[in-house]
Structure formats: structure tokens, C-alpha cells
Amino acid sequence: MRAQEVLKASLKMSQRVYSSYVSDLTDEELMLRPGPGCNHIAWQLGHLISSNTSILNAVLPDAAPSLPEGFDQKHGKSNSGSDDPKDFLTKDQYVALFSKLDDAIVAAIDRLSEADLDQPSPEAWRGKFPTIGSLAVVLVAHTMMHVGQWVPIRRKLQKPVLI
């Protein structure tokens, strides 16, 4: 299996878990926090979309779709404490943005060669992720770093165990 196929398989697993965990949540439930000091799911969805857009563009410049105006600011650290639903999108809007971004990630992976994956990552990322390949791993795994935080909310809401 080529590295690109592994990356796409990893992304597919992240997509499966993410989409399962949000499938039966309402817009109101996206605003619940799993615990004190934790971010609610709506903010996390926006953070993932914003961050993954940035990472994708670092892996392959201009590969990510554009985000709505002000999206990055609304989902930046300075707004993570907001509990105002007006600051966030609906579940359907997040899902649509996620879908476009994931399609762009797959298309970008298909454009990368083995030699591309061995190239140095952009300077800003190089300290932790020295190659484009290592940065691509973060790109496909980042969502999985967050979805575990959604399980306590699902349990509290008595949603079914999905995975």
C-alpha cells in the first residue's frame, strides 16, 4: 500500500467516526461542553475546519476551499469561551464545510507523489512536523484528536453507542 492510500484510509476512518458522532446531535446539543474548561462541539467543529484548511494549504498551497468570511475568527481561541449560538453555524453548515474540505484533502493527497511527501514542510511547521508527509498525517488524524471529547456529551444525552 502506498503512503497516499494509507493517508486516505486514515482520513476515511476519521470521517466515519466524526460523522457518526454528530449524526444525531441537534444544533442545540452542539453547544454543550463535555466538562468545565472544555470547548463545545460547535467550536471544535469550526476549529477543525479552520485548522485543517490551514494545514491543507501548508501541505499543498491553495488546495483548500475558501471559508466564509470571519470563520477563522469565530473559531479561534479568543472565541472558544462563547456560548452564544449566534457565534456559530448550524450542524448542517459544519457538515457541508467538512465535506468540501475532506474532498479537497483527498484530491490533494492524490496529487502528492512519494517524493513530495519526503519534502521539508513549511518552516512554521517544521519543528514538530519536518516533512510534508508528517504534516499530512496530522491533517488526516486531527479530527480523531477531538472526537473523543464528544463521547461524554453523547453519554450525558443518552445517545446510542455508535462505535
- pTM for the full predicted model: 0.95
Cα 20 versus chain centre, distance: 14
pLDDT at 71 over 90: yes
Q: What's residue 1's pLDDT?
A: 87
Nearest of 98, 88, 74 to residue 23 by alpha carbon: 98
Dist. CA 13–CA 145, nearest whole Å: 12
Could you tell me the three cell numbers for 94? 459544519
Q: What's residue 126's pLDDT?
A: 96
| Confidence label for 140 from pLDDT (cuts 50, 70 and 90) | very high
| Whole-number average pLDDT of the chain | 96
Residue 137: CB atoms within 10 Å: 16
The residue extents of the domains of the chain are 3-156
| 6-10 CB contacts, 8 Å cutoff, 24+ apart | 7/109, 7/136, 7/137, 7/140, 8/106, 8/109, 8/140, 10/137, 10/140, 10/141
Task: Return the CATH class of domain 3-156.
Answer: mainly alpha
Dist. CA 25–CA 48, nearest whole Å: 17
Dist. CA 95–CA 98, nearest whole Å: 5
Say what percent of the chain tops pLDDT 70: 100
Q: What's residue 160's pLDDT?
A: 94
Could you tell me the three cell numbers for 31? 453547544
Q: What's residue 163's pLDDT?
A: 83
